[in-house]
Amino acid sequence: MLPEFLLTETTVREAGTGPEVALGEQQGGTLVLTLGITRIIEQESIDLSIWGSTDGSDWGTKALSTFPQKFYCGTYQIVADLAAHTSIKFIRVKWAVSRWGKGDSRPLFTIYLFAQALQPGLLAVGAA
């Protein structure tokens, strides 16, 4: 049930997948996803996507939502509208990392991802 961390603050050095989280009352709703990148080294990137499942085992072949590729520390938000995916009961985050240039070839990110329901009227306020 949301609001909840899809991924608590974690240091990642390779591709991975977070735990499944039940949508509960937010099934078919609109979510605000907040990505925090609190640690990074130069010349690397991270790609994060949100995946959905009806049963907690089949995660499909296409992400529900994707953050633009990130290179820097910061806090980033996207809105994920699940109205077209009303059968989705579980979500989880999946990430891939890359590093180029000199030095250690392994990427290093410390990240977290928080999900919450979109509050009614929030988008209308921002559009005014």
pLDDT in tens, the chain (128 residues): 578 999 999 999 999 999 999 999 899 999 999 999 999 999 999 999 999 999 999 999 999 999 999 999 999 999 999 999 999 999 999 999 999 988 888 999 999 999 999 876 655 554 54
Neighbours of 42 (CB within 10 A): 11
> Which pLDDT does position 122 carry in this prediction?
55
For the chain, which residues make up each domain, given as ranges? 4-118
> Which pLDDT does position 101 carry in this prediction?
82
What CATH number belongs to 4-118?
2.60.120.380
123 SS3 class: helix
> Which pLDDT does position 1 carry in this prediction?
58
> Which pLDDT does position 119 carry in this prediction?
76
What are the φ and ψ backbone dihedral angles of 39, each rounded to 5 degrees?
Answer: -150, 140
Residues 91, 17: Cα–Cα separation, whole Å: 11
> Which pLDDT does position 121 carry in this prediction?
62
